[in-house]
Amino acid sequence: MTHTDGTEVGTEAPAERRPPQEVPRPKGLGPFGWLRWAWRQLTTMRTALILLFLVALGAVPGSVLPQRGEAPERVAQYFTDHKTAAPILDKMSMFDVFAAPWFAAIYILLFVSLAGCVIPRAGKHLQAMRARPPAAPRNLARLPQAETYETERGADEVLAEARKVLKRRRFRVDAADGSVAAEKGYLGETGNLVFHLALLVLLFALGMGNSFGYRGNVLLTEGKTFANALNNYDQFKPGRQFDTDELAPFTLSLDRFHAEYQTKGDKRGQAVDFSAKVRFKAGPSSPDRPFDLKVNHPLKVDGTKVYLLGHGYAPQFTVRDAKGNIAFQDTVPFLPMEQRNLTSEGVVKAPDADPQQLAFYAILWPSAVASKDGKQIESAFPAALRPVVSISSFTGDIGLDSGVPQSVYQLPALKDGKLKPLKGGQKLLEPGETFKLPGNAGSITFDGLKEWTSLSVNHDPGRIPALIAAILAVAGVATSFLVRRRRVWVRARAGEGGRTVVEVGGLTLGNPTPEFDEIVAALRGGQADASGPAPATESKE
């Protein structure tokens, strides 16, 4: 006779001399096991809170540093002022925070984490709302709120009265085994879930707006008109799913820009109010409509919002060449060199001048005064009280014919030597004055001063859903704080002398409430149930 392993019975070695059997090693989690583990970690509320904190932390640079989508001129100024730090920050996308890959990764992970955490929790909450209230504990006297009394009424009568009193207070009631169980306050948990679901919808709406919307910046000078077309934008950022053919066909004209400043005290020169008098057409055949565009008071037209961002000065020049022909006549936007008194700089390019192209670098002082040492000129106030322009003249090749695009605010040909400064070509001009260039090279006239404003054109289809989600989130979190879960149990049993012993126990999430005492008083019959219907916030459990 043999064992199943082939050894004969009675021939195997004693137990103490047998080699230890190998215990099978536990198998690893495997790829699917690790995926399940990662999903469980990602969909915990702790991870969602960490990701929410990272989103808030990542948005800080977007609030502190200038962003290209909002103020490209301020980004350029930041590069000028911080030549070492700006390139490093730019590599980390600190000037395009909300379009950065790392911010998008955190955003998507937060969305997935909330969805995986909240949606299953909502299903469990729905099941709990439809379930029967928990049965009465064995010893009601151990509950935080408890009361025992005797009555002449029968047990069935007491329990029937308990059901009536509790239903009148909007409790869900269940009766079994000589007791009544009641529960309400699920609206608090519902509000908590509404808050998290609304946060999920808010994230989705923001993502939808970034995908199907667009944002563009345009600089508009007084007297100019902007048509909502792609080639008229100074900067344009469409969403990935946005079709540029869907741009709303409106036009916008800037009639006048007005700024008010403090004239006295320590805050002298500080801006008090900005307003732009504009006219707009919703379509080619629509009538002109006036609008007073202000900060935080955007123009809404055909699902698009136009915001007022910044402002500056645009001197108007007339440039004549050596033959006396007009080579340039227009306003030129100048960029502020400092914000306090709006000392600004800009360039004037006249590529059509004959026989040589002309270019000018200019500095504008809106309210020109002599400096304290009397050797320089400075601006004493941001308003145009006494505008003065200093002109530096150049001749040569501006570089526009090369086909390489260049900034309207710079003269890159100066670096490669294609533009040469005119000897004696510097001059201070006030409005109406003309400077004749040396060597009969031409002339430049400072015709006057206008103002420009930078506008942000924003189309966001997720704006309304985001607003609704934000309102629901506030309502949900307020409800979760105001409504608390409450449970009440009533047990009736026969006592001595034919009397009925009634035990009432209550359990409230948080501190006890006076409602329990009112319920006990109503059951005793000592006073009417004076509470009436439940508050509106607790009407749906």
Give the pLDDT confidence of 223-265 residue by residue, as tens digits: 999 999 988 998 888 887 888 888 889 999 999 999 889 888 8
State CA 27 to chain mean position distance: 47
Percent of the chain clearing pLDDT 70 (strictly above) = 91
| pLDDT for residue 9 is more than 70 | no
The DSSP bridge partners found for residue 345 are 335, 363
61-65, 66-70, 308-312, 535-539, range with the lowest pLDDT: 535-539
- The residue-averaged pLDDT of 164-177 equals 90
Give the pLDDT confidence of 331-367 residue by residue, as tens digits: 999 999 988 899 999 999 999 998 889 999 999 999 9
- The residue-averaged pLDDT of 413-418 equals 81
Paired tokens of 421 = 């400064």
1-5, 85-89, 326-330, 337-341, range with the lowest pLDDT: 1-5
Residue predicted with more confidence, 34 or 11: 34
Q: What is the pLDDT of residue 387?
A: 95
Q: What is the pLDDT of residue 335?
A: 92
Residue type, 286: S
Give the pLDDT confidence of 45-91 residue by residue, as tens digits: 888 889 889 988 988 888 888 887 667 767 887 888 888 888 999 88
| pLDDT for residue 368 is more than 50 | yes
Q: What is the pLDDT of residue 189?
A: 87
Sorting pLDDT into bands at 50, 70 and 90, what band is 24? low
Question: Among 38, 190, 195, 196, which Cα is nearest to 118's?
Answer: 196
Sorting pLDDT into bands at 50, 70 and 90, what band is 273? confident
Contact between 428 and 388 under an 8 Å Cβ cutoff? The reply is yes
Contact between 351 and 398 under an 8 Å Cβ cutoff? The reply is yes
Question: Among 311, 314, 310, 312, which Cα is nearest to 389's?
Answer: 314
- The residue-averaged pLDDT of 302-325 equals 92
Residue predicted with more confidence, 452 or 400: 452
Give the pLDDT confidence of 443-481 residue by residue, as tens digits: 999 999 999 999 999 988 888 899 999 999 999 999 988
| pLDDT for residue 266 is more than 90 | no
| pLDDT for residue 124 is more than 70 | yes
Q: Distance between CA 443 and CA 11 in Å, rounded?
A: 122
Query: For 176-221, where are the alpha helices, taking DSSP H only?
Result: 186-212
Sorting pLDDT into bands at 50, 70 and 90, what band is 121? confident
Q: Distance between CA 186 and CA 478 in Å, rounded?
A: 14
162-176, 205-219, 300-314, range with the lowest pLDDT: 205-219
Percent of the chain clearing pLDDT 90 (strictly above) = 39
| pLDDT for residue 10 is more than 60 | no
| pLDDT for residue 526 is more than 50 | no
Residue type, 400: L
Whole-model pTM: value is 0.64
* Average pLDDT in the chain: 86
Q: What is the pLDDT of residue 362?
A: 95
Q: Is 532 left (phi over 0), alpha (psi -120 to 50) or beta?
A: left
488 Cβ contact partners less than 8 Å away, ≥ 6 residues apart: 166, 171, 181, 182, 183, 504, 505, 506, 507, 516, 519
Q: What is the pLDDT of residue 488?
A: 94
What is the DSSP code (8-state) at residue 37?
H
Q: Distance between CA 224 and CA 343 in Å, rounded?
A: 23
Residue predicted with more confidence, 164 or 31: 164
What is the DSSP code (8-state) at residue 375?
S
Q: What is the pLDDT of residue 6?
A: 53
**Taking the domain 132-185+484-524, which CATH number applies?**
3.30.310.80
Residue predicted with more confidence, 128 or 385: 385
Sorting pLDDT into bands at 50, 70 and 90, what band is 5? low
| pLDDT for residue 527 is more than 50 | no
Question: Among 98, 349, 329, 59, which Cα is nearest to 207's?
Answer: 98
Sorting pLDDT into bands at 50, 70 and 90, what band is 305? very high
Give the pLDDT confidence of 187-204 residue by residue, as tens digits: 888 898 899 889 888 888
Q: What is the pLDDT of residue 145?
A: 92
State CA 183 to chain mean position distance: 40
